[in-house]
Amino acid sequence: NAGVTQTPKFRVLKTGQSMTLLCAQDMNHEYMYWYRQDPGMGLRLIHYSVGEGTTAKGEVPDGYNVSRLKKQNFLLGLESAAPSQTSVYFCASLAGNLATDTQYFGPGTRLTVL
Amino acid sequence: GQNIDQPTEMTATEGAIVQINCTYQTSGFNGLFWYQQHAGEAPTFLSYNVLDGLEEKGRFSSFLSRSKGYSYLLLKELQMKDSASYLCAVVDSNYQLIWGAGTKLIIKP
């Protein structure tokens, strides 16, 4: 039982390049989330999904796209990376709702955009 | 707007007790979480409060006062491994998590 895994762990991009971050969970959780974490700021929600085939915008969705084609996977795409997207990205999953369950986080992806 | 306030940094001595405060102003309230995050790692769950009062779990306790928009995390018998950031997060009326910036706790021998 691996829990929540993220690929890659580190990445350096040049401005304008694109990339996809992969999040996978083996706990059969319905909800999945993408956050970014910047120094001195709380975790900020980028996009989330309440089930296979569904996605929704969070607090800071601009510049990112997501897809949830399979229940266990949640992909985060950057079409044209900008230096402002330099951050640590965390994926999380949740079995039910936040009133009864806790989020489980992946190890994070450190992204630098030059 | 929605806001969660925590001290940026605290220092305590090994073996002592420390209280980390969190105040919040959110659109609705459906519970408050505390997470621990060691440097370079993912946040891990510590506690969840939805009713007023104190929840004790080993060396860690968490308190909630909904009328005051206030919570604290109490860490007893501090150990060096408790050096980490402690994140407060509130579930709002839309069942979204609003996160504080975290409190970096430094433990000195």
Q: Are B15 and B81 in contact (CB under 8 A)?
A: no
Contact residues, chain B, for A98 at CB < 8 Å: 30-31, 91, 95-97
Residue B59: the pLDDT is 96
pLDDT value at B16 more than 80: yes
3-state secondary structure (DSSP) of residue A80 = coil
Residue A98: the pLDDT is 74
Are B99 and A42 in contact (CB < 8 Å)?
yes
pLDDT value at B45 more than 80: yes
Low-confidence ranges of chain A (pLDDT < 70): none
| Residue B76's pLDDT band (cuts 50, 70, 90) | very high
**How far, in Å, CA of B7 to CA of B13, rounded?**
17
% chain B with pLDDT above 70: 100
Q: Are B4 and B88 in contact (CB under 8 A)?
A: yes
| Residue B19's pLDDT band (cuts 50, 70, 90) | very high
Better-predicted residue by pLDDT, B39 or B95: B39
Are B41 and A45 in contact (CB < 8 Å)?
no
Best residue in A32, A102, A109 for a mutation probing chain B (most B CBs within 10 Å): A102
| Residue B107's pLDDT band (cuts 50, 70, 90) | very high
Contact residues, chain B, for A31 at CB < 8 Å: none
- Angle CA B40–A90–A67, to nearest 5: 155
| Residue B1's pLDDT band (cuts 50, 70, 90) | confident
| Residue B2's pLDDT band (cuts 50, 70, 90) | confident
Residue A31: the pLDDT is 94
% chain A with pLDDT above 70: 98
Are B42 and A43 in contact (CB < 8 Å)?
no
Q: How many residues does chain A have?
A: 114
Contact residues, chain B, for A90 at CB < 8 Å: 42-43
Better-predicted residue by pLDDT, A64 or B95: A64
Nearest Cβ partner for B30 among A41, A90, A99? A99
